[in-house]
Amino acid sequence: MPLILETERLIIRDIELQDFPFLLKRKISRKDRPNILYQKSDTIHDEEELKSCFQWAYYRYQREYYQLVVFQKSNLTFIGTCGIWDVSPDNTAMIGWHFENKYSGNGYATESAQEPLYIGFELNRVAAISADCFEENLASIRIMEKLGMSPDWSIGSAKKLNGNGDNKPIVRHRILRKEWLNLHG
């Protein structure tokens, strides 16, 4: 059964095939890509590459991976995505989010990122949840702080991202399950 969550202003649900046009538009938009960690900001991703990634996310349904799409509740407008990976009891999971630039600054990322934390801590009992962002991405750092996350210096203060993303310094924040439970009783 697909996961559907609601907040005061948002509907957050599992990714579906019908979401492909929105995701493709977001993926190729130059202005919306600079802060995506695992995608080079100077590369235009084509439809076939996105389809491959989409199929991996959609069909990996052992519930260790939740890729969610976010819509405004008032008009059902697609505004972004959020998710949680490596979800299993006593593990450290990772969360992330990405919103179209025109929806930045409205609290949508903070509001929607609460749901992957809920999925991780309440539904799957993970031990901790981390999030990474580029060191220069102050908006995402503020979101992590609002979520109750603290800097995780175990990776070093300026780890360089390897692999598919830009080679720029990143930071990691983390929250333990017991810390989250204290905040959300």
**pLDDT mean across residues, the chain:** 81
Homologous superfamily of domain range 4-184: Gcn5-related N-acetyltransferase (GNAT) (3.40.630.30)
Quickly state the pLDDT bin for 41 (edges 50, 70, 90): very low
What are the boundaries of each domain within the chain?
4-184
Residue 181: strand pairing partners: none
Q: CB count, 10 Å around CB of 6?
A: 12
- Please list the alpha-helical segments (H only) found in 69-137: 108-118
Look at residue 18 and tell me whether its pLDDT is greater than 90: no
pLDDT digits (tens, 9 = 90+) for 45-56: 556 666 666 665
Distance CA 111, CA 49 (A): 29
pLDDT digits (tens, 9 = 90+) for 55-68: 655 555 557 888 89
Average confidence (pLDDT) over 33-49? 54
Distance CA 120, CA 113 (A): 11
pTM: 0.81
**CA atoms within a 13 Å half-sphere pointing along the CA-CB vector of 18:** 3
Q: Tell me what pLDDT residue 168 has.
A: 79
